[in-house]
Amino acid sequence: MTPTDFVADDELILRHIPGGTTWQKPDGTIASPNFRLRPGEVGISVSRLVITSPEAFMARLGDPTTGSRIAFARAADIRALGFEAVSAPRDYDLGQAELRPATADATAKQTRKALAMLFRYVE
């Protein structure tokens, strides 16, 4: 596996979820604003479990003392929502990838809600 390889349908995709009740709802679901694109962003930054270990991922982005968590979803399920999972390796994370809207409307609230409902926390 190399960082530029195609993201396979059975790969697990990771996203950091900041700690605290304002980002992680008490009922265990993930808040949809976690998946909103900022102006100028073409895709939602994620990492590929096949390349990036959860430990390295948390060390780079998270703060376990504040309750940071990692969520995951399967690439095929993300694609079914109208996103492309595209590898976008960086020096600091060779497993970095982006979820870029293909047929999905990234400006729609329904789209990020559907993504939020798809991702699950790593236990």
Q: Residue numbers of the site for other proteins (CB under 8 A)?
A: 16, 18, 20-23, 25-26, 31-34, 36-39, 45, 60-62, 108-110, 113-114
Task: Report, in Å, the least distance between residue 84 CB and other proteins.
Answer: 18
Task: Report, in Å, the least distance between residue 79 CB and other proteins.
Answer: 20
| Closest of 49, 57, 46, 50 to residue 98, by C-alpha | 46
Instruction: Give 9 or 64: the residue with its C-beta nearer to other proteins.
Output: 64
| Closest of 10, 6, 5, 7 to residue 74, by C-alpha | 10
Task: Report, in Å, the least distance between residue 5 CB and other proteins.
Answer: 23
Number of other CB atoms surrounding residue 91 within 10 Å: 6
Q: 70 is written with which tokens?
A: 């990692």
Task: Report, in Å, the least distance between residue 65 CB and other proteins.
Answer: 14
Question: Quick one: CA dihedral 94, 60, 35, 78, positive or negative?
Answer: positive
- Tell me if 88 sits within 8 A of 99, measured CB to CB: no
Instruction: Give 3 or 19: the residue with its C-beta nearer to other proteins.
Output: 19
